[in-house]
Chain A
Amino acid sequence: MLWDTILLAVRALRRNPLRSSLTTLGVVIGVAAVIAMVTLGSGTTAKVAADISSLGSNLLDVRPGQHPRPGGARMSAKSFKLKDAEAIAREVSGLAAVAATASKGTLAIFASQNWSTTATGSDNTYLTLRRWPLESGRPFTESEVRAGKMVCVLGATVRKQLFGGRNPLDASLRLGKLSCQVIGVLQAKGQGGFGGDQDDFILVPLRAFQRRIAGNQDVDAILVSAQDGASTTKVQRDITALMRERRHIGPHDEDDFHVMDMQEIVSTLTGVTRVLTGLLGAVAAVSLLVGGIGIMNIMMVSVTERTREIGTRLAIGALEREVLLQFLVEAGVLSLFGGTLGIVVGLAAALGGAQALGVPFVWNVGIIITAFLFSGAIGIGFGYFPARQAARLDPIEALRHE
């Protein structure tokens, strides 16, 4: 009986290729959209988390000024000096490396090319902390750092913009009015977790930066990495205590600097991307709904024809439940087929999108099942209920339906 009904349903579906394919299309679009969007969203979340942890999860960032809070005005505070970084390196235990950095927007010029970028002053430790290997050339030498020589290491973007395919090593470019010799090129890092191009960057020795570019002795940030196994919480506490002492902050006064744990940033950003994923999911849910309405429309539009068909079947001697079973199976077959196709299309789109955006492809079985069940329910619901209305009529009413 059931097998007969399935055959009957499939036969009926084949007779109306347009209606069947439109209904299927509705399910496919709904399912595929949800799966593609949520999968891409999850991939982006994972990518952001990975990017940030590539910064080093045991990294601490010490900056002057209070901890940035949403909406809160930032109090201006005395900047750090190189001595502060040296004090941290000397007095706080459990540290692997400390790098003092300062940055400023600068125009870099080479031959007829110029490129507006950021010059950062620091030393080789900075590259170690950021886990950023050289692609070619060499890092700074001890004497270059100490003497503050105008030599620089280029980020991949700057190198591409200024040199194109040419070899930049040993070339002399100008930073503002100053001449600077290129000694190394960094590997491309791509877009950062914070957005923005991490490779749009030139590194010079800190002393050279302070003396020639910034014209002061300020240090914008001190990057600190804890030793493996050392507690970042303890390091954070020690640095805070040290800096309060060095900056003469009274016991009842608030810090005029902040120590940020990358772990915090990771969780903040992951939270943000999770919200974005949720947003994408909501958009996808709307498309699922639209797909559902598409299914509903097709079903409703065909209800006149179907009502007469139901009338004919009833007149011929079909029972109400036989007619309903047939329609239920029809709707089920369409939804199942459309849903399966939607999963394939959605995953394919997610895979393509993931490659295009450079984010990992993350399986999300929950959303696949949800999308499938939801569109299935819509397809079956809107296929079934109009049919039920018709099957309950006296056959003559169904036959007369206009």
Chain B
Amino acid sequence: MTERDTAQVHEGPPAPLIELRQVTKTYGAGAATMQALRGIDLRVADGDFVAVMGPSGSGKSTVMNILGCLDTPTSGSYRFRGIDVGGLSHDQRALLRRYYLGFVFQNYNLLSRTSALENVELPLIYRRTPARERRASAFEALRLVSLERWADHTPSELSGGQQQRVAVARAVVTEPAVLLADEPTGNLDSQCSREIIELLSTLNRERAITVVMVTHEPGMAAYARRIVRFMDGLVADETRSLSDFADHSDPTRPPDPSAEGFGPQAEASGVRAGSGPPNARRPQVEGT
């Protein structure tokens, strides 16, 4: 793995890595229609660490799936590095995931009965990395999450926290542009949660991996540089956190607008509360 120059990412106005515009997502049809997203605008810059918060049913997981190209929006545009993802084919989206995205899921989604090392190797197999290099990289990634001694263990032989660390290793072994984590600590106790969130934070700071994380725990969100709150399929508000320097135990601390490198960019990221156009404000159905 090559170290990225973290300083570079924070200097100057970076091109938006991710840009969602008026994204909606509707599930079902007819009377059973459920509108999960009702017009989301979201920008994420390179090197950012965004926590997406909100009550369940607010659409935060849906937006993650759309960001991860695991799901397609009903309307609106999603640009990744300026490329319109909506115009990509099934396979092209798979390639986008392969080369740019890394995923960490709440329930880990490791392959069962498969060693930690092989799980971490999996994304490299699809990248056609030669076997020897693949093993070396996977081992390196496991070392990053301090699990090198558990390389031969299968998920069932690992604790939840260890499994999630394997999942993080699998997500970062390809050095993705973005790490998408959907409630990565949702199934873990506080000790393990802390390990995982610190791992993500470290990866963000030291490897300049952009992290977008869904969480409902304020203590976890506090590690992020930005916190975006969802409510009823819309962005309710957005705060800037001083994750790098802030006291993690106090997520309610007001954001400091003079935080280095963030001011103009955060302003430009244009997350406007309740800014959906009239056509996005359809009758709300229960359960959204």
Contacts and interface: CB of A to CB of B under 8 A. Distances in A.
Interface stretch (A337-345, A365-373, A393-401): A393-401
Given A318-B94, A319-B91, A394-B71, A312 B111 contact: yes
Most B CB contacts (10 A, CB to CB) among A311, A316, A322, A395 go to A316
Contacts of B90: 320
Most B CB contacts (10 A, CB to CB) among A314, A320, A322 go to A314
Interface in B87-124: 90-91, 94-95, 97-99, 101, 103, 105, 109-114, 118, 122-123
A8 to B, nearest CB: 7
Given A15-B113, A317-B99, A320-B91, A394 B70 contact: yes
A317 B126 CA distance: 7
B225 interface: no
B11 to A, nearest CB: 30
A394 B97 CA distance: 13
A61 B98 CA distance: 84
Contacts of A320: 90-91, 94
Contact of A399 (B101, B109, B110, B126): B109
A305 B112 CA distance: 9
Provide the main secondary structure of the chain A interface. Answer: helix
B253 interface: no
A317 B94 contact: yes
A308 interface: yes
Given A8-B125, A320-B90, A322-B126, A315 B111 contact: no
Contacts of B98: 316-318
A315 B71 contact: no
Given A319-B95, A399-B70, A399-B105, A4 B113 contact: no
Given A317-B95, A319-B94, A320-B90, A16 B71 contact: no
B112 A316 contact: no
Contacts of A311: 109
A258 interface: no
B125 A4 contact: yes
A315 B112 contact: no
B102 to A, nearest CB: 9
Instruction: Give the contact-size bracket for chain B.
Output: 20 to 34
A218 interface: no
Interface string A7-39: 010010001100000000000000000000000
Nearest to A318: B126
A322 B91 CA distance: 10
Contacts of A395: 69-71, 97
Contacts of A244: none
Contacts of A197: none
Contact of A316 (B65, B113, B126): B126
A305 B20 CA distance: 33
Interface string B247-271: 0000000000000000000000000
Contact of B113 (A16, A314, A315, A321): A16
B118 A11 contact: yes
B127 interface: yes
A4 B101 CA distance: 23
Contacts of A319: 91, 94-95, 126
B170 interface: yes
Most B CB contacts (10 A, CB to CB) among A1, A309, A318, A395 go to A395
A341 B82 CA distance: 56
A317 B70 contact: no
A313 interface: yes
A269 B68 CA distance: 72
Interface string A350-367: 000000000000000000
Given A308-B109, A315-B97, A316-B97, 10 more contacts: A8-B125, A15-B111, A312-B110, A313-B126, A315-B68, A315-B103, A316-B122, A317-B97, A317-B99, A318-B126
Ordered nearest first, which 5 A-B pairs have the shortest CB separation?
A: A317-B98, A15-B113, A396-B70, A395-B70, A317-B97
Interface of B: 65, 68-72, 90-91, 94-95, 97-99, 101, 103, 105, 109-114, 118, 122-123, 125-128, 170
12 contacts: A312-B111, A313-B126, A314-B94, A315-B68, A315-B103, A315-B109, A316-B123, A317-B98, A317-B126, A319-B126, A322-B126, A395-B69
